[in-house]
Chain A
Amino acid sequence: MGFFVRFWGVRGSIPTPGPRTRRYGGNTSCIEMRSDSTVLIFDAGTGLRELGVSLMRNPPKEGLDLHLFLSHPHWDHIQGFPFFGPAYLKNTTLTVYGSEKNENYQLLSGQMSNAYFPVAFKDLSARIVPKAFVDDEVQAGDFVVKRFEQKHPGGSAGFRVEHGGNACVYATDSELDLMLIDPNGPAKAPRTLRRLPTPLVTPMKNADLLIADAQYTDEEYPAKVGWGHARANTVVDLAIQAGVKQLALTHHDPMQSDRDVDAKVLTASERARSIGAELDVFGAREGVTLRLDRG
């Protein structure tokens, strides 16, 4: 029982510490999903370091058994890995999920090569095991994880995570506006629902929680076309089409202060309301844990 989701890093592109970002947090992408017996980690941005500290506070006697999923190997999604304490413990088992070619495993070890970092990947004490998805699906402990492709420079994977009748979707680094059925829709009629193709909507169907890249506002986006990220209003429309219950906007732009993120969330909530959807929109914030399996 139990399906908990905790945000450890919600910032996009580069860590953004400082007083302007203190409430939402400045660490880059890292999400923990856990049940009573399994710990899944999505992305290894700088938020991973603090997750590691927390895991090592009360480690189980038999050692940590962790499952790591990477959306893609851009810096802000892997940079925390060399600072992940449990990787240095002998009795940790860390399963790294990827394709048959194990590109994620290769890329994690690549960033630890000599010139970049003093410890080599092969010298990490943990048992690090690559594991492949089969037909875009894999069992990780008592969770089932399904993978889907997204539009992003170099590609990125989204994940639908299921456990005991609940579902959480993690869909970061996805430029939704390049996937729109009517690419000119937002410019012509910004208030009209922006329709997205079925293959993108289906993996999110009826999820309890969608955690989605919503880096930009409608105003910021036109200057960032092709950079690989979504604007919050289009994410709202995707969530509505998928019948999602709750939407967490994440991958906040480094330029956005806490107040800017507040304003982005407020605009997105108003959009959901104006379309008439019962969608609960909030801004992903470091240190917050949600429970999905409550009534």
Chain B
Amino acid sequence: MAVKRTQTIDEEVPQTMMNRLPASFKPRPRRAHQLEQTAGPGSPCKHELSADALIIGRGSAADLRIDSDDVSRTHAQLLRIDDEYTIEDLDSRNGVFLNGLQVHAAVLRDGDQLQLGDVVFTYNEGS
């Protein structure tokens, strides 16, 4: 007597249910993290972030220059660690405020509001 072949689990489960991506899957292009300036000289404007490190300040050494007396020459730096940006106060005169709290440093999250003197940014997290 012929033995009927048992169906394997693989055959029963549709492809998309498997723990792998379907052949039709195309990864979306990545979106850069972004600082959106909403107040202070130069606003409104958006800065796409791509560098591993950049300095925000009034001075010529700054990568993101802001022409405001409330902003120190080298006010803060942004550092990319594991694709997350951390802001760090560089001993600025007016400090760095994260959602109203003065911080020395902070890993940024989507929607965070940063204030440096009279300059306000919203951090838009990319993907």
Contact = CB atoms under 8 A, between A and B. Distances in A.
Interface of A: 4, 6, 22-23, 280, 282, 285-291, 294
Interface in B38-97: 86, 89, 95
Contacts of B103: 288-290
7 contacts: A4-B104, A6-B105, A280-B101, A287-B86, A288-B106, A288-B107, A289-B103
Nearest to B89: A291
Interface of B: 86, 89, 95, 98, 101-107, 109
Contacts of A288: 98, 101, 103, 105-107
Contact of A22 (B86, B89, B102, B109): B109
B110 to A, nearest CB: 8
Contact of B104 (A285, A286, A291): A291
Nearest to A262: B99
A282 B101 CA distance: 8
Contacts of B86: 287
B109 to A, nearest CB: 5
Contact of A286 (B89, B101, B102, B107): B107
A290 B104 contact: yes
A287 B104 contact: no
Contacts of A291: 89, 104
Given A4-B104, A290-B103, 16 more contacts: A6-B105, A280-B101, A282-B101, A285-B106, A287-B86, A288-B98, A288-B101, A288-B105, A289-B103, A289-B104, A289-B105, A290-B102, A290-B104, A291-B89, A291-B104, A294-B95
A214 to B, nearest CB: 16
List of 3 A-B pairs having minimum Cβ-Cβ separation, nearest first: A287-B107, A291-B104, A289-B105
Contacts of B98: 288
Nearest to A4: B104
A282 B97 CA distance: 12
Contacts of B104: 4, 289-291
A4 B95 CA distance: 15
Contacts of B102: 290
A280 B98 CA distance: 14
Q: Which of B95, B98, B105 has the most CB of A within 10 A?
A: B105
B113 to A, nearest CB: 12
B96 to A, nearest CB: 10
Nearest to A282: B101
B25 to A, nearest CB: 21
Contacts of B101: 280, 282, 288
Nearest to B111: A23
B84 to A, nearest CB: 8
